[in-house]
Amino acid sequence: MPSLNLVFDDRERTDPSPASHSENTAAFLNRVAGGYWDQVRDLVEDWASRVPEVGGRDIVARLRSSSDRQSRAAFWELYLHETFLRAGYEVELHPSVQGPRPPDFLVSRGEERFYVEATCVFGAGTDAGAIARRQDLYDAVERIHSPNFFLSIDVEAIGPHAPATSRLRRALERWLSGLNPDETELVLGRERAGEYFLWEERGWQVWFRPIAVRADARGAPDHRVLGVFGSGEAQWLDDASELRETIRSKGNAYGVLDAPFLIAVMVGTPFHDEEDTISALYGTWQIQFSVNNPDDARSVRARDGYWGSPGDWKHTHVSGVLLAHSVSPWRVTQEVPELWHHPHATDQVTALPNWRSAELADDRICHIDPAAELSGFYSLPAPWPQGEPFPRSSTNRNFAARRGTSFRRVEDRDVDRARGPRSQTLAATVRPSVHSPSLSIVMTFGGRTPRYSDFVQAVRAYAPSHLVEYLARSCAERGGWDVQLRKGMRPPWVVAAMVRDCIVASHEGRAGQLSERKLSRLFNLFNETQDVHGDDLQSLLTPILYEQFPYQQSHYEEIVRSIALLEDAYDGSREWPWEEVLGAPLADVLTMAFIIHTVIMQSSGRFELRPEFEEVVDVLGYSQSLPTIVAGLFCPCRRRCAPPVCIQPAHSNTASRCRHRSVCPSAESDLRRRLAERPVPPRTRRLG
């Protein structure tokens, strides 16, 4: 029988403040108050209660560890244990095998059985002591009195000993007291320009720059001090080699097993991407050329991949590698693991319904999306956790009480401590972290670049009717969407993508509620997605089709570009029956669409072909085909069962008798049938 393992203290919690820079994850989760974090603790306790007592004590002890690496690795094992249980498997911890030591799990369901070893990659060369000294420095700086300025801090060099922070705090306060916030301009970086304070002592080298507090917010004695964190010390990154060595060490550790073997890796490094995984498994990407003919270059894979290469496959006893990024208790419904199948495994392991899968087909990597949603698989609402991690009022109220320890943000290079309730943070996008209610600029989406499927997962949390209504209301309040480059822009093509993917992937049973903050996250997520795979032309053209370069001067160029992208053939393209679908050639339809748009914008949302537009239509030669084109655009079946717009000139007697409908019922039924019958090809990437 499973025993109840108490991971967190059973006590009343009153402190809702974010973690200090030096506070570890276990201590933070055990201390922080609020309904958001109660959900997280309840989930961990519930999952831990299903772990057998034998072996479960070790997991619980490591979940409470002051080492973030230990607690994160323990939760990865707990996550896998719960995942297999929910998939209908029986899970045995540390099963007996003939080898020198057992793997973590033996998973069985009927006659199906396989072994699983859980491991983590946190990045090589991370000096835990140096990181701890840097975090102590951050905490010390947060305690200075600075009512009129935030500070930018850039630690260029970390000294071998703890800094003398008392002298540093006094020096910073004297420096800031002599600055006028109305005359101080923001200059970031390490150049000796603008206002800066360079602190050098006992091996430490730290740059400080002032950031003036907004005029109406100055004078508050207890606001946070650190606002911007610099890039720190540059490092060479080689995630592929570390992942390869981690897999190799686990693959050879258990001797000959009597069932398939799966290695489950949780990647905690912030810049790991798909290329690192492919390089680790199939070989490092290289350029091969002849010295005598350097123009004859081609891309190849080195023979250093863990799985070898076609014709020389290695380690076939490892059925696959399950890869996930920065899985944490508050992200179980956000990060989808991916099973990378060995192309020539002795025995295969079937992907669970909540996993992506990747396999080699000819010379391409084929990606297949999961069949089940994470929230449904784990019986959790969408989104989850619900509520705000750090309500602004409680954060401000508790800041003064925690002046002895300070807030911190997730450091991109600090692999040990990269965690947050929204650690699917985006490149160059502001996000709150566990450690700061302030806005922090971070560079990853759960340790990787966000994919378009992540955007779809986020959009499908909302019912289509709710999302469309909220977007319409937001557009009306803003006076339209943005097509000019500016901070926080909300372009119309992202709105179109939200609506389309919500209709296709979601349903009316969704309970998610949009807010302006959540809507901004969706825009940011779309803007940061990157799905270009090697020389796959289609994956390059897809985002171009969405955006259409709206910053060109001429709208006619947009028409030409649309025709080229949608109609011109390219290698691997298919011919689309545009005239059959739209009732006219694509070039005619797009040209008329431009005219129709202009007419509607000048006619308060109605299409009324006034006399001044009739001449344009006559000159272009579309007088006879205009009704067909309009019907083709809005009524694909062309049965004229209910004209969606008035296609008669404004002075015609028939115009007043038109019944305006948004969609033709028979066309909608026909379109849904054709969409359902259309095969959806998997995402692919060329291996070489």
10-residue block means of pLDDT along the chain (688 residues)?
67 90 91 95 94 86 92 96 96 90 94 96 77 89 90 89 88 92 77 83 90 83 78 74 94 90 93 90 87 79 91 94 94 94 94 94 88 92 89 53 38 32 30 36 47 84 90 81 66 85 84 86 82 57 55 53 63 64 76 75 65 73 73 51 38 35 46 48 61
Do 360 and 248 have their domain in common?
A: yes
Do 334 and 397 have their domain in common?
A: no
Do 248 and 229 have their domain in common?
A: no
- Helix-then-strand count for the chain, H and E: 21, 19
Contacts of 551 (CB under 8 A, 6+ apart): 483, 484, 485
Contacts of 656 (CB under 8 A, 6+ apart): none
Question: What pLDDT, on the 0 to 100 scale, is given for residue 543?
Answer: 60
Strand ranges, E, within 47-138: 90-93, 105-109, 112-121
Question: What pLDDT, on the 0 to 100 scale, is given for residue 494?
Answer: 85
Do 424 and 504 have their domain in common?
A: no
Tokens (6 digits) for 431: 């996000």
Question: What pLDDT, on the 0 to 100 scale, is given for residue 183?
Answer: 86
Query: Does residue 383 form part of some domain?
Result: no
Q: What sign results for the dihedral spanned by CA atoms 652, 657, 660, 663? A: negative
Query: Does residue 546 form part of some domain?
Result: yes
* Domain hosting residue 516, numbered range: 452-528
Do 119 and 150 have their domain in common?
A: no
Question: What pLDDT, on the 0 to 100 scale, is given for residue 663?
Answer: 40
- The DSSP call for residue 213 is P
Q: CB of 407 within 8 A of CB of 47?
A: no
- Assessment of whether the complete model's pTM goes beyond 0.95: no
Q: CB of 610 within 8 A of CB of 640?
A: no
Do 117 and 250 have their domain in common?
A: yes
Other residues' Cβ atoms within 10 Å of the Cβ of residue 560: 12
Query: Does residue 61 form part of some domain?
Result: no
Do 211 and 150 have their domain in common?
A: yes
Query: Does residue 50 form part of some domain?
Result: no
Question: What pLDDT, on the 0 to 100 scale, is given for residue 115?
Answer: 96
- The DSSP call for residue 185 is P
Rounded to an integer, what distance in angstroms lies between the CA atom of residue 420 and that of residue 439? 13
Contacts of 684 (CB under 8 A, 6+ apart): 361, 364, 365, 366, 367, 533, 536
Do 103 and 251 have their domain in common?
A: yes
The number of domains in the chain is 4
DSSP 382-430: SSSS-S-SS-HHHHHHHHGGGTTS-B----TT-GGG---TT-S--TTEE
CA-based end-to-end distance of the chain: 51
Question: What pLDDT, on the 0 to 100 scale, is given for residue 670?
Answer: 52
**How do 261-267 and 318-325 pair as beta strands?**
parallel
Buried b vs exposed e over 390-419: b needs ≥16 C-beta within 10 Å? beeebbeebbeebeeebbbbbbbbbbbbbb
Rounded to an integer, what distance in angstroms lies between the CA atom of residue 650 and that of residue 634? 19
Rounded to an integer, what distance in angstroms lies between the CA atom of residue 517 and that of residue 432? 11
Do 262 and 361 have their domain in common?
A: yes
Residue ending a domain, choose from 506, 528, 550: 528
Question: What pLDDT, on the 0 to 100 scale, is given for residue 651?
Answer: 36
Rounded to an integer, what distance in angstroms lies between the CA atom of residue 77 and that of residue 349? 19
Query: Does residue 157 form part of some domain?
Result: yes
Do 368 and 278 have their domain in common?
A: yes
Identify the CA nearest to 461 among candidates 391, 530, 403, 382.
Answer: 382
Do 246 and 326 have their domain in common?
A: yes
Q: In degrees rounded to 5, what are phi and psi of residue 580?
A: -65, -40
**How do 261-267 and 112-121 pair as beta strands?**
parallel
pLDDT in tens, 510-529: 878 898 888 988 988 887 77
Question: What pLDDT, on the 0 to 100 scale, is given for residue 648?
Answer: 36
pLDDT in tens, 250-306: 998 898 899 999 999 999 988 888 889 999 999 998 888 887 877 777 888 889 999
Residue ending a domain, choose from 528, 562, 584: 528
Query: Does residue 245 form part of some domain?
Result: yes
Element (H, E) at 298: strand 298-301
DSSP 128-140: HHHHHHHHHHHHH
Query: Does residue 316 form part of some domain?
Result: yes
Other residues' Cβ atoms within 10 Å of the Cβ of residue 9: 11
Peptide bond into 383 cis (omega under 30): yes
Do 89 and 166 have their domain in common?
A: no
Identify the CA nearest to 200 among candidates 154, 250, 248, 264.
Answer: 154
Query: Does residue 1 form part of some domain?
Result: no
